[in-house]
Amino acid sequence: MPESNDVRMTLNYILDRSVEQYAELPAIGMAAEDALTYQEFYDRIIALAHHLAGGGIKKGDRVAILSENSPNWGTAYFAIVRLGAIVVPILPDLPEADCHHILNEMEVPILFISQRQLEKVYELNQKKLRRIITLDDSVATQGVIEVTPFSVYLEEAFSAQEENKDIKKQAFTEVEEDDIASILYTSGTSGYSKAVMLSHKNLTANAYSAATMLEVDKGNVFLSVLPMSHTYEFTLGFLTPLIKGCKVAYAGKTPTPAILQKLCNHEKPTVMFTVPLIMEKIYKKRVLPQVEKSVLLSFLCRFSFGRKFVYKKIGARLLEFFGGKLEVMGIGGAALNPEVENFLQEAEFPYLIGYGLTESAPMLAGGPLGDPTIAVGSTGKPFPGVQIKIVDPDPDTGVGTIYGCGPNIMRGYYNDPDATADTITEDGWLNTGDLGYFDDSGNLYIRGRSKNVIVMANGENVYPEPIEHKINAYSWVVESLVVENNGKLDAWVYPDYEFIDDATKGKSRVKRREFIDKLCATMRKEVNAQVASSSRLARVVERREPFVKTATHKIKRYLYAGE
């Protein structure tokens, strides 16, 4: 890894170095479409950067991107940071009010946006915003706002270079490793979104660490299915492949399993980063039915040897589902269901669990790849360059608050010194707010958020996440939430209504209701038999709509507190 006091710890260096090494290789594109080469990608970025500078953008200015993934998203990002300006990536799933808050607080002069997001800014009253550029070339705004298609803006940039040859020779403002590259608004599970300031070094240090762990050849493909506006995908799924000379292929909007399979067959990715929800869906829809519908397979899975044999066969098919060349499936952003992880391990599927936060750009723990001492249920070892410690551990369990330290720890929260001081110690340790412990092999285990712990009337601490994992393992459950209700525990369950429809086909609404009630009652009895007495459920209640979630599909618990 480059030295941390070197200009090589800037995003601009990563780009310059990659075009130097891999100019003619494919760099970035939509899946199943032609990709830009590293040289073409670079040329667009430099032209766009000069054009932005000509339009008055300077070092320290903030420019927002509110869009789904695309090659133009990455082009805009690198053009902005080339000037020493700061990118404000906005998660495309955020509601209109949150987008307005961010754009007003950041006072952005330029906004890059997509057609699907345009309606969110129709009512925006932000006087400093002087130009809106549509990354997907959309022009349809019913005359409400004026927009410039990206291809037009880029053509303006190239034309300006042609007309004035001196533009290309103009030097950009020097960018330092500690300059802020991005300000990202968290969409956490505990409410109150904070603006995280990440420097060039924060992002590059984590990306270089990831690159040292991934032994993939240049020209290999990273398939991107998560939003680039989240650090997990940005650092691991965008910066890391650029360092390695790989191609990034964007799946577009969140694909169904059938579309994902088609894209994987075309791109044959070597690396993917995903969240547990996607893998859990595939497990429930593609793996479990193969076992449950076969008397022979169900019988074999009752024995350890037979189960491993069956799972290896299914695992081989799963690899084919992902194109047949997958070497690493990174899973992070939320906790993976233990039943799904046990399957992946016994199937010898090439997965890695990771753990991190936006505030750590994002990785704190994960891997290393191929380490036989990594235990199922853990997040592996601390990431290269990162230190982790457990503060105030319980003397019996070893569970305490997880703190992290390293060059990837944020510069602080924007305009919020009190929250920064509460989160980062004077000697640079980040209080994650998560509870966890280490085993004897140095593996980190996450028990849950400290704010999520339910303290029962008898003083017992209950961690809701392990109970939810047991509930979510049922094939008829999509997601669940365990909450405290008058000193007792309730589980709210959002069922898989496709499963319910198939099982109650031709039956009356009353019979359908009875079927769901019976499922809930049976589950409550079975789950209670598997947990400590303090964690037993008083009720299991059907919820008829999905829970509101973060970008990495964690339920926003604070929205349901006290309901």
Q: Kindly give the parts of the chain with pLDDT less than 70.
A: 1-7, 169, 187-192, 457-459, 562-563
CATH of domain 457-560: 3.30.300.30
- Please state, in angstroms and rounded to a whole number, the distance separating the CA atoms of residues 413 and 198: 9
Task: Find out whether 275 and 331 touch, Cβ atoms under 8 Å.
Answer: yes
Residue 289: the pLDDT is: 86
Query: Which residues have C-beta within 8 Å of that of residue 479, sequence separation ≥ 6?
Result: 277, 472, 493, 494, 546, 547, 555
Query: Which residues have C-beta within 8 Å of that of residue 95, sequence separation ≥ 6?
Result: 120
From edge to edge, which strands make up the β-sheet containing 26-30?
A: 36-37, 26-30, 247-250, 221-224, 271-274, 328-331, 351-356, 363-366
- Please state, in angstroms and rounded to a whole number, the distance separating the CA atoms of residues 266 and 496: 30
Structure tokens at 464: 């809701």
> Which among 53, 99, 56, 89 has a CA at the least distance from the CA of 180?
89
Taken in order 540, 544, 550, 551, the sign of the CA dihedral is positive
Taken in order 136, 278, 187, 383, the sign of the CA dihedral is negative
Distance of CA 26 to the CA centre of its chain: 24
Residue 188: the pLDDT is: 56
Residue 554: the pLDDT is: 83
Residue 546: the pLDDT is: 93
Residue 189: the pLDDT is: 46
Residues 437-489: pLDDT tens digits? Answer: 999 999 999 988 777 888 776 667 788 988 998 999 999 999 999 998 888 89
Q: Where are the domains positioned within the chain?
A: 7-198, 457-560
Query: Which residues have C-beta within 8 Å of that of residue 170, sequence separation ≥ 6?
Result: 50, 53
Residue 495: the pLDDT is: 95
- pTM over 0.75? The answer is yes
Residues 245-286: pLDDT tens digits? Answer: 999 999 987 777 788 899 999 999 999 999 888 888 888 888
Residue 4: the pLDDT is: 44
Residues 341-389: pLDDT tens digits? Answer: 999 999 999 999 999 999 999 999 999 988 999 999 999 999 999 999 9
CATH of domain 7-198: 3.40.50.12780
Residue 237: the pLDDT is: 97
Which residue is associated with the tokens 């403002």?
Answer: 173
DSSP string, 474-530: STTEEEEEEEEETTEEEEEEEE-HHHHHHHTTT--HHHHHHHHHHHHHHHHHHHHTT
Which residue is associated with the tokens 């760099």?
Answer: 27
Q: For residue 563, count other CB atoms closer than 10 A to its CB.
A: 9
